[in-house]
Amino acid sequence: FSLQEIHIKEPIEKQVNPHLLPGELLLCEANTVYKYIQEDGSNRGTYGKLVCTNFKIAFLDDESASDDNEPQLKNKIVGENDITLQCVDQIYGVYDEKKKLLTGQLRKYPEKLIIYCKDLRVFHFCLRYTKEEEVKRIVSGIVHHSQTPKLLKRLFLFSYASAAPSNTDGRNQTMMFDTLEDWRDELERTKGNVKYKAVTINEGYRVSEKLPLYFVVPICVSEENILKYEGRGIPIWCWSCHNGAALLKMSAFPKEQDDSTSQTQKAFLDGIYKTISKAPYELLKTDDLSSSLPSLQDIQTAYTRFKQLFLIDNSSDFWTTDVKWFSLLESTNWLEIIRRVLKKAIEVAECLERQHTNVLLIEESATDLCCVISTLVQVMMDSYSRTKSGFQSLIQEEWAIGGHGFFDHCSHLHKSDKEEAPVFLLLLNCVWQLVQQYPPAFEFTETYLTVLSDSLYVPIFSTFFFNSQHQKDTNTSGESFKTQSGPFRFLTVWDWSVQFDPKAQAFLNNPFYAEKPKPDKSQRKTTRFKHQRQLSLPLTTTKSSTKRGFFREETDHFIKNILGKRIGKLINSSDEPPNSFREFYDSWHSKPVDYHGLLLPRIDGPEIKVWAQRYLRWIPEAQLHGGGTIATAAKILDLMEEVQSLQVKMDEEHCQAVSGDVHSVPLLRNSARLSSLFPFALLQRQSVKPALPTSTWKDLEVEDDLVKRDDEFVDLTSDMP
């Protein structure tokens, strides 16, 4: 095609300057860049300036868009046409209509630049009208700054932290788990403090740099043992069930060639198992996740294939998937991985809840699949984890402090792709399945999960930045930074006001949440940890007492059994789950759901769905006018608002001077016409006519009456015998 053939408005020379964050530096820029509107290959678009800073790549529209076109969920940090350097997935250049991946040094400069983002946006920039000098500068600048490895301290997180005013309080209800007190509170909340204790032994990272400063172990485990193998082979507490059974995780020993070493390690493990299998501890089941779940490599491969289905250059690509859609989806294996992970979590929940046994998850690092399973189990079993602050505390505990390798897995340094693995995304995908199956059980929305996944690539937060608490601590001190006197003050992603104004934050709260009766607000500080535990499910009569009696006598035999079968074979890991699992699953599903009790996802094939909001939100072709989940949400919001205002009115009538505590959301009026892509994009502005032309209102009124009358009629007939 030729651009000359179609009508393009003459570029207007106008001075637009990028909005820079504290610490953000403009590195290079190019004028008269033409940005295509993605959808239809019609070459429509706008002229503007393309800039690259040490934080983002940004396109500045010459005809600066009027405010009413802005998306509702405006991110204060990352604009509609901003791509943070961390968010860049791949950059392609188009040379003579051929796409080529751009990396490293460039010899020739492309006429078109395509940027694929990790949040699944796709940008097309035409550089044909840009001065050659500027093309060179901007293309090599973008490729260099987004693709080549850098020194850690040169990353934007540090520039921002040293330049930004450290005024954000960040205090919210999220527990950060960076203090001993937080761990003790969590132990107390789950009543785990009888058998487990928080230890300070890792202060100064004496035990291991991979472990957090504070963590929780069974009371009977000695300091000496913890120190022996840098914390390996030590069961670390994740959570206690209402019946006292606990979820534990353990970092396994790497495979040893040396026989005597592995003998010693085995003996060490025997000792540990023996200690924690004695009363008062419950029967122990172990599960080696590295053999019972897909490898990180499998997960990465599956996700790479899966996201390719949505990273499309134009809509015609999308239509070609037509007949093959389901087999394409199937061949990625991504949904099957989600299903297997959910199934594993149900198995663990069954052991804890019904069999009343402790479950020990084993993985080499105990920071990847252990985190996924442990988080999911808690979301399913502990309704506190389904509140916003509870979920955030959980992510903080298991992932941020727990030592998930965000830095490597998100490839923040672009060092190598090998480390990259979407483990956290996998978790969010699994949680989303639960959210869409049981909307009233969650205080947050799918939009919350979506923006949380986006936040992985906003490098002003430390939450999802480092590999471990140690890495964060050592880099916070700011020693090597001469310009900075004190330590860096990093932001936490949980302070949502950094990214969203209050109006936008309303999208994160689920209006449909079946809230529990709240304790008095004045006691908030104390009630924070006193979140009530639920007896999740009075299942079949518990066999625990007999089991434990049996177990005490047979301890030695049992331990032999574990070791004989090698660790991890106790939970059946074959695809056909043991009968007890299916029975548990069926029996739960045959009873009414208690949204504040145990929650088990449905995992039969048809129940696992594609997270449409995250994966389709930038694809104009996928939108529905006046449809989609947002239509439901908007309608429910209206309804709730009305109920609330009625309640207020009632209270007034009763002359009770209760001031209206209506935390209603003043949005979505006339929301019938919203696009299903709302609140992320308003892409429909180019492509359609208004859904309801005003000229037709009059006619409708007449028909309207008709419908009313039909209803009248209906009402009468319903009295017929």
Partner 1 sequence: FHTLFVLQVENVKLLDRYTNKKAANGTLYLTATHLIYVEASAEARKETWILHHHIATVEKLPLATAGYPLLIHCKNFHVAHFVIGQERDCHEVYTCLLKLSQPVKPEELYAFSYNPKMSKENREIGWKLIDLKVDYQRMGIPNDYWEITDVNKDYEVCNTYPPEIVVPRAANKAVVIGSSRFRSRGRIPVLSYLYKENNAAICRCSQPLAGFSARCLEDEQMLQAIREANPGSPFMYVVDTRPKLNAMANRAAGKGYENEDNYDNIRFKFIGIENIHVMRSSLQKLLEVCEMKSPSMSDFLTGLENSGWLRHIKAVMDAGVFLAKAVKDEKASVLVHCSDGWDRTAQVCSLASLLLDPFYRTFKGFMVLIEKEWIAMGHKFSHRCGHLCGDPKEVSPVFTQFVDCVWQLMQQFPCTFEFNERFLLEIHDHVYSCQFGNFLGTCHKEREDLKIFEKTHSLWPFLLQKKQELRNPLYRGFTAYKELQPNTLPFSFQFWCGMYNRFDKGMHPKQCVLDHLLSCVSQKVKLEDSASELENKLPFLDGPLPSDACPLPKVGPAASKTPMLNTPQGYEGDPPPALSNGAAGGDGDVLSDVDQRNKENLSPPQDLHGDTIEVLDSEAKEGKPRHH
Q: Which is nearer to partner 1, 107 or 698 (CB)?
A: 698
Considering the complex, state which of residue 275 and residue 437 has its C-beta at the smaller distance from partner 1.
437
Tokens of 634: 């908007």
Q: Is 675 helix (H, G, I), strand (E, B) or coil?
A: strand
Question: Is residue 622 a contact residue for partner 1 (CB under 8 A)?
Answer: yes
Instruction: Work out how close the CB of 512 gets to partner 1 at its nearest, in angstroms, rounded to a whole number.
Output: 8
Residue listed under structure tokens 């006001």 = 497
For partner 1, the closer of residues 535 and 692 by Cβ is 692
Q: How many residues bind partner 1 (CB under 8 A)?
A: 98
Q: Does 318 bind partner 1 (CB under 8 A)?
A: yes
Q: Is 711 in the site for partner 1 (CB under 8 A)?
A: yes
Task: In angstroms, give the least distance from the CB of 537 to partner 1.
Answer: 13
Binding segment (CB under 8 A) for partner 1, from list 82-90, 235-243, 399-407, 696-704? 696-704
Which residue of 63, 298, 501, 705 would you call a contact of partner 1, by CB under 8 A?
A: 705
Cβ proximity to partner 1, 7 vs 654, nearer residue: 654
List Cβ<8 Å contacts ≥24 apart for 330-335. 331/305, 332/302, 332/305, 332/306, 332/308, 333/298, 333/301, 333/302, 333/305, 334/302, 334/303, 334/305, 334/306, 334/429, 335/608, 335/610
- Closest approach of Cβ 662 to partner 1, in Å? 11
What is the chain's alpha carbon radius of gyration, rounded to the nearest angstrom? 28
Could you give the count of Cα atoms lying within 13 Å of 561 in the half-sphere of its Cβ? 12
Provide the angle, in degrees to the nearest 10, between the axes of the packed helices 423-437 and 446-455. Answer: 170
Q: Does 170 bind partner 1 (CB under 8 A)?
A: no
Smallest distance from the beta carbon of 578 to partner 1, in angstroms? 11
Residue of the chain from 339, 354, 404, 596 that contacts partner 1 (CB under 8 A): 339
Q: Whole-angstrom Cα distance, residue 529 to residue 195?
A: 19
Q: Which of 257, 327, 480, 656 binds partner 1 (CB under 8 A)?
A: 327
Q: How far is the CB of 641 from partner 1 (least distance, A)?
A: 8
- Annotate 360-385 with b (16+ C-beta within 10 A) or e (fewer): bbbbbbbbbbbbbbbbbbbbbbbbbb
**DSSP H or E stretch at residue 51:** strand 45-53
Q: Which is nearer to partner 1, 165 or 690 (CB)?
A: 690
Nearest distance from C-beta of residue 3 to partner 1, angstroms:
28
Whole-number minimum distance, CB 330 to partner 1, in Å? 4
Scan residues 653-682 and list those touching partner 1 (CB under 8 A): 653-654, 669-670, 672, 676
Task: Please select the residue that binds partner 1; options are 67, 68, 553, 715, rule is CB under 8 A.
Answer: 715
Smaller CB distance to partner 1: residue 184 or 343?
343
For position 509 contacting partner 1 by CB under 8 A, the verdict is no
CB of 647 to partner 1, least distance (A): 6
Work out whether the CA dihedral 434, 440, 446, 451 comes out positive or negative: negative
CB of 309 to partner 1, least distance (A): 9
Judged by beta carbon, residue 322 or residue 553, the one nearer partner 1 is 322
- Which of these ranges, 65-73, 115-123, 538-546, 688-696, lies near partner 1 under the rule CB under 8 A? 688-696
Cβ atoms 125, 112 nearer than 8 A: yes
Binding string, residues 567-606; x marks residues near partner 1 by CB under 8 A = --------x---x--xx--xx-xxxxx--------x-xxx
Stretch that binds partner 1, among 125-133, 181-189, 258-266, 621-629 (CB under 8 A): 621-629
Contacts of residue 502, Cβ cutoff 8 Å, sequence gap at least 6: none
Q: What angle is formed at CA 427 by the lines to CA 425 and CA 429, rounded to 5 degrees?
A: 70
Q: Are the C-beta atoms of residues 230 and 208 closer than 8 Å to each other?
A: yes
329 contacts partner 1 (rule: CB under 8 A): yes
Per the DSSP assignment, residues forming a β-bridge with 58 are 51, 82
The first and second tokens of residue 272, run together, are: 């540990």
Q: How far is the CB of 511 from partner 1 (least distance, A)?
A: 11
Interacting residue with partner 1 among 177, 623, 665, 683 (CB under 8 A): 623
Give least dist CB 39 to partner 1, A.
12
Q: What minimum distance in Å lies between the beta carbon of 450 and partner 1?
A: 17
> Residue 134, Cα to own-chain centre: how many angstroms?
38
Instruction: Report if residue 713 touches partner 1, rule: CB under 8 A.
Output: yes
Which neighbouring-strand residues pair with 251? 363
Of the residues 204, 502, 538, 721, which one makes contact with partner 1 according to CB under 8 A? 721
- Which of 172, 269, 271, 175 lies closest to 214, judged by CA? 175
- Hey, which bits of 213-288 come out as E strands? 215-218, 236-240, 246-251, 284-288
**298 binding partner 1? (CB under 8 A):** no
Residue 598 φ/ψ, nearest 5 degrees: -60, 140
Binding partner 1 (rule: CB under 8 A), the pick from 97, 322, 417, 553 is 322
- Minimal distance, residue 592 CB to partner 1, in Å: 5
Q: Judged by CB under 8 A, does residue 700 bind partner 1? A: yes
CA–CA separation, 110 vs 696, rounded Å?
50
Shorter beta-carbon distance to partner 1: residue 157 or 612: 612
Nearest-angstrom CA–CA distance, 340 and 601: 12
Closest CA to 562 of 574, 576, 551: 551
- Does the protein bind partner 1 through residue 717 (CB under 8 A)? yes
For 92, 113, 114, 129, the CA distances from 98, given in Å and listed in that order, are 10, 11, 12, 19
Check if the beta carbon of residue 240 is closer than 8 Å to that of residue 191: yes
Contact set for partner 1, span 358-377 (CB under 8 A): none
626 binding partner 1? (CB under 8 A):
yes
Kindly tell me which residue out of 26, 152, 610, 667 binds partner 1, with binding defined by CB under 8 A. Answer: 610
Calculate ∠ Cα 145-150-151, nearest 5°.
Answer: 145
To partner 1, the closest distance from the beta carbon of 717 in angstroms equals 5
Site residues for partner 1, 422-441, by CB under 8 A, read 437-440
How far is Cα 558 from Cα 563, in angstroms, rounded to an integer?
9
What residues between 448 and 507 interact with partner 1 by CB under 8 A? none
What does DSSP assign to residue 233?
Answer: T
Out of 607, 660, 661, 686, the only residue in the binding site for partner 1 (CB under 8 A) is 607
Closest distance of CB 697 from partner 1, Å: 8
